[in-house]
Amino acid sequence: MTSINPIFEPFIEAHRYKVAKGGRGSGKSWAIARLLVEAARRQPVRILCARELQNSISDSVIRLLEDTIEREGYSAEFEIQRSMIRHLGTNAEFMFYGIKNNPTKIKSLEGIDICWVEEAEAVTKESWDILIPTIRKPFSEIWVSFNPKNILDDTYQRFVVNPPDDICLLTVNYTDNPHFPEVLRLEMEECKRRNPTLYRHIWLGEPVSASDMAIIKREWLEAATDAHKKLGWKAKGAVVSAHDPSDTGPDAKGYASRHGSVVKLMITFKPTRNIDLIEAVGNHPDIIVGSNNGDGYDYKPECRYFEVNVHGQFGGIVYYQEIQPLTFDCHAMYLPEIRGFSKEIGLAFWRYILTNTTVQCVTSFAARKFRHGQIYCAMIGLKRVGTIKKYFKGVDDVTFYSATREELIDFLNHGR
């Protein structure tokens, strides 16, 4: 009897998802087959062995399970048929289906305790959406093994980039396989010598976005990093900056700035409070650029720009510009919904402005078509001073708002 690779010991514990990813020669399939055979010897489990496509039973892992049973000396315990394996003592059974080939059959399956999806890099979003709801028995588990291909593949995105709750995720490579055969070691060494990038993809399981098959190769990025310093020349040309808000999603916000052909700054951040984000963006000396966020505004290098996040949700985009000494033009560039957030946006924004500037007056305006902008101006303490007809692009009326420093302080103190 062979021992189970210790790296797979976490798979013995209960988890909804058990995922093993990595490169060639890691022994993932062997280890999982061994664990499932042992489970079948002990409990009356129904095990579905699935893959994206299975044109015949020979495409499945049935031969791998047969070999495992024979190698461990369990042949007398199991009944092995053409398309099914059953343990004679526990009545546990293995069944084998392709998800794309048999969507109706997959949906009709009942009482599955464990589903093992092999070569899962090929499984599409549509197939996952069929399979996962099918495995609905209490305490059922979904086991996944795959060699990553493309970082955009649904399997990689689903289990690695945005993993679900209650997941055991293992990265397993040939370096973790105590039984890594010599013939594969020689093949691996040759690949590593000839093409390090391909080696990382095939043998270390790096997804294709970082491999030789990517449009932008890792070596190019490494060569380009600080290339202007290596070559002894200074960056010239326009300074262009961009900011990517995450809206209501959990992903990070991003900011990048380049000078000519040189990227000077790239940052990401995940603020948990409104004021955290204002400080992170507003206090950074290189972030002095307005952003259009898709609404048709031009970049304004003379502006300071903020994304405001309230209660963990995207609240709005604000920028201000000093239009004359001590007088600032303030805008809410994008507010998909007010949802009661505007008051907190205003409070945090004014705290920053009053603390970091000597502003004496703030003005703002909102076109009639941007109703949220008008509501925003009113709710952050600005007072309506008048309307100019067809001021916005010659077609829409614009209402102007303003407030003095004293009025802002009063608004801040009273929260109204």
The residue type of 221 is L
pLDDT for 208 equals 75
Amino acid 55: pLDDT: 84
For residue 416, what pLDDT is reported? 55
Is the whole model's pTM more than 0.75, yes or no? no
274-414: which CATH number, 3.80.10.10, 3.40.1010.10, 3.40.50.720, 3.40.630.30?
3.40.630.30
* Res 111: pLDDT: 94
Q: Are 40 and 90 in contact (CB under 8 A)?
A: yes
CA dist., res. 120 & res. 285, Å (int)? 46
CATH topology of domain 6-180: Rossmann fold (3.40.50)
| Residue boundaries of the structural domains of the chain | 6-180, 274-414
97, containing H or E segment:
strand 93-98
CA distance to 206, 237, 353, 361, 401, per residue, from 383 (Å):
57, 41, 18, 12, 5
Give the 3-state secondary structure of residue 95: strand
Per-residue pLDDT of the chain (416 residues; tens, 9 = 90+): 578 899 999 999 999 999 999 999 999 999 999 999 999 999 999 999 999 999 888 889 999 999 999 999 999 999 999 899 999 999 999 999 999 988 888 999 999 999 999 999 999 999 999 999 999 999 999 999 999 998 889 999 999 999 999 999 999 999 999 999 999 999 999 999 998 888 999 999 998 764 455 566 666 776 777 787 888 888 877 777 666 655 555 566 666 777 777 887 776 655 444 444 444 444 443 333 333 333 333 345 566 655 554 444 444 555 566 655 655 555 554 444 444 445 666 676 677 777 777 777 777 766 665 566 666 677 777 788 777 776 555 666 777 777 888 888 888 787 65
> Given the structure tokens 């952050």, which residue do they identify?
380
Instruction: Give the integer Cα–Cα distance in Å for 65 and 236.
Output: 63
Q: Where are the beta strands (DSSP E) in 245-346?
A: 253-259, 262-269, 304-310, 313-324, 327-334
Amino acid 278: pLDDT: 43
Could you give the CA distance from residue 303 to residue 290 in angstroms, rounded to a whole number?
6
* d(C-alpha 175, C-alpha 28), whole Å: 12
Beta strands across the sheet bearing 361-367: 304-310, 313-324, 327-334, 361-367, 396-404, 383-392
Taking the alpha carbons of 170, 174, 175, 178 in that order, is the dihedral positive or negative? Answer: positive
pLDDT, residue 249, reads: 54
pLDDT attached to residue 12: 92
Q: Which residue reads 């290596």 in tokens?
A: 230
Beta-carbon count within 10 A of 129 CB: 10
Strand partners, 321: 329
- Alpha-carbon span 164 to 158, nearest angstrom: 7
> How far lies 172's CA from each of 7, 68, 142, 145, 271, in Å?
8, 20, 18, 10, 33
In sequence order, what DSSP letters do the residues of 118-170 get, joined into one string?
Answer: -SGGG--HHHHHHHHHH--STT-EEEEEE----TTSHHHIIIIISPPSSEEEE
| 122, 52 Cβ separation under 8 angstroms | yes
Residue 387: per-residue pLDDT:
77
| Structural element, H or E, at residue 366 | strand 361-367
